[in-house]
Structure 1
Amino acid sequence: MSQAPHDEFRDYVAARRPALLRAAMILTGDRVEAEDLLQAALANTYRAWGRIKDRTAMDGYVRRAMVNTQISWWRRRKFEIYPTDELPDQPVDDHTRRSEMHDALGRALARLPERQRAAVILRYYEDMSETEIAEVLGVSVGTVKSTVSRAVAKLRDDDALDLDFPDTP
């Protein structure tokens, strides 16, 4: 017996939301805007759910909806921005600094043993639970916990990550 369309959509969103949110973060550069963008794209996708025949292409459909929505938002914002002689009080985002931190993290991850690197990536990049990671790696949940713990400890001690990270609120 097949699922009702809204149940099928709910299951899709539950399974793919973390990956889709990461894509939205790349598009917006801001967590709150990314959540708004993903929500808008999922609303559009839900309205078209019955017309979408190829369920294997859903991620591409949602990503395209995010891009289209983001472009619409950019166009609308363009009319809301007015030039001024006054400088804003907020500091400008330093993309160079963020890139340096990203590169340093990539180098540090590359130095981890394969299982530790896989566990960290699955846990923090793919947002998988310890149980899901255990299934993927074919190990026990306890092994996942200790592997991630040791990997994070190594990353904290790694000299390549000795950047002066700004404090987060």
Structure 2
Amino acid sequence: MEHEELFPLLCATADGKKEQFAELYTKTSAQIYAVALRILKRKELAEEATQDTFIKVWHGASNYQRSKGTVLTWMVSIVRYRALDLLRYHNIRNEVVLDPDNDAPSTSMDVPSTEQRRLAECIDELDEQQRQAIHLAYYGGLSHQEVVKHLNSPLGTIKSWIRRGLQSLQRCLSL
């Protein structure tokens, strides 16, 4: 779906084409909402984060840089940052429930799809530290400082694990 469908829709959105933006929304809103809900755990805040994300996509579609990741990855990062902002604004403490078998949250998303299964396969190929750091930051919605406390590792190390893990995921997903 990613290459064939989302990129042309985002390009058309950058040109102000409402029909293609509506189609982009239809194809991605469930995944964006699932990420927001996973982080915020409150329906009304997840809806707000999702709406804010699509407003930002509408206004900032021309800022997307293909070399830095897929369209969906870009959109997920927008919703993640918005959700974290809402957590801070509402002073919500986000608790991450870890899987006792591997000390990392489950990779299952609320909307299973071929892309989600592929992502789960790629995540499984990461080093354990990278996988944990990415899970805590992106699925758990923790800030880098919170990941530092949770994994009891230095900030630079956490940032390196996340950066290298995301690069590995990008390579894996592009195959």
Q: TM-score range by the shorter chain?
A: 0.3 to 0.5
Highest CA radius of gyration, 1 or 2?
Answer: 1
Larger RCO (CA within 8 A; separation ≥ 6): 2
TM-score by length of 1: 0.42
